[in-house]
Amino acid sequence: MEMRKLGQTGLEVAPIVLGGNVFGWTADKETSFAILDAYFEAGFNAVDTADVYFRYGPGMHGGESETVIGEWMKDRGVRDRFIVITKGGLEMGPGMEGLGRDYLTRACEASLKRLQTDYIDVYMSHAPDPKTPIEETLEVYQSLIDAGKVRHAAASNYSAEQLREAAAASGQGRAAYTVLEPHYNLAERSLYEGDVEDTCVEQGLGVIPYFSLAAGFLTGKYRTREQLEGRARGGSAGSYLTPKNLELLDALDAVAARHGSTPARVALAWLMARPSVTAPIASATSLTQLADILKSVELKLTPQDHAELER
């Protein structure tokens, strides 16, 4: 398996980044450990998480995912061989929100404690903070980098204009964003393709898309509203349930059948083939799901496949 350079960070990541949003939520600790073990033992090496995972679930408080990952890395002794990507800035409680000097520093410290590590490989602004000047945010990142607590600063959900603004503000005591985590998949292309993608290429950013499987929709298991009932991620997947996207599922089925593959593998292979994409993020709640996801690195789509999917 060929590793991929993550923009200009100097880090090399596997073609699939493991999504940690399900750990401690829809995957309990035992299942999460099993998934992390299988992922790592297969030669893959990066996990994406955030402090708010999964604050939005019933009875959850946030930090559950980071806690599970930290316990796993400590128990397995793999921290120096594993790339940790996490995010901060979204609301974690009263007075705990934003990318300002005071809170972002505290958020980083809290993530480090939960992850049981001295440093975060890629620390990411989870979303833009209109209340904080970008200059201040980048100064905080530089101070965290100088202290050895963060290796690289990054951003998620930023527009092309916001990326350009951040690039212009970097330097002279301010860090630069080196990675973008956008919402991007076969069913949602407009948020990334065009100005954002062009800006990422111009700036040499690593790109690791989230919702690579559209919250499970692109696996083909959700084709009716009834199939979404009672599902933890039903609301997210349901937003993709349109006539156009149901036609996309038919195309995925046809391409998968030609290759003796699955819709999930095809959707991930399509993303991996995009020149500007470093590695898609994909999560799994079982070893069966993980095995299917990881096999996508072996799938090479043909020009006919690409044309059919993109039509």
Instruction: Measure CA 169 to chain center.
Output: 25
* Per annotation, catalytic residue among 53, 158, 184, 222: 53
> How many helices, marked H, and strands, marked E, lie in the chain?
11, 10
Q: Which residues have C-beta within 8 Å of that of residue 242, sequence separation ≥ 6?
A: none
Residue type, 9: T
Q: Which of 24, 134, 54, 231 is nearest to 223 (CA)?
A: 231
Strands 12-13 and 4-5: antiparallel
Q: Which of 300, 286, 299 is nearest to 39 (CA)?
A: 286
Query: Is the Cβ–Cβ distance between 158 and 166 less than 8 Å?
Result: yes
Rg (CA), the chain: 19
Residue type, 248: L
Written as one string, the DSSP assignment of 238-283 is HTT-SHHHHHHHHHHHHHHHHHT--HHHHHHHHHHTSTT-S--EE-
CA distance 166 to 145: 17
Joined tokens for residue 310: 């993109």
Q: Is 53 a catalytic residue?
A: yes
156 burial (CB, 10 Å; 0-12 / 13-18 / 19+) is: buried
CA distance 269 to 304: 14
> Counting every residue, how long is the chain?
311
- In this structure, the dihedral spanned by the alpha carbons of residues 94, 99, 100 and 102, taken in order and rounded to 10 degrees, is 60
Terminal CA-CA length for the chain: 30
Residues known to be catalytic: 53
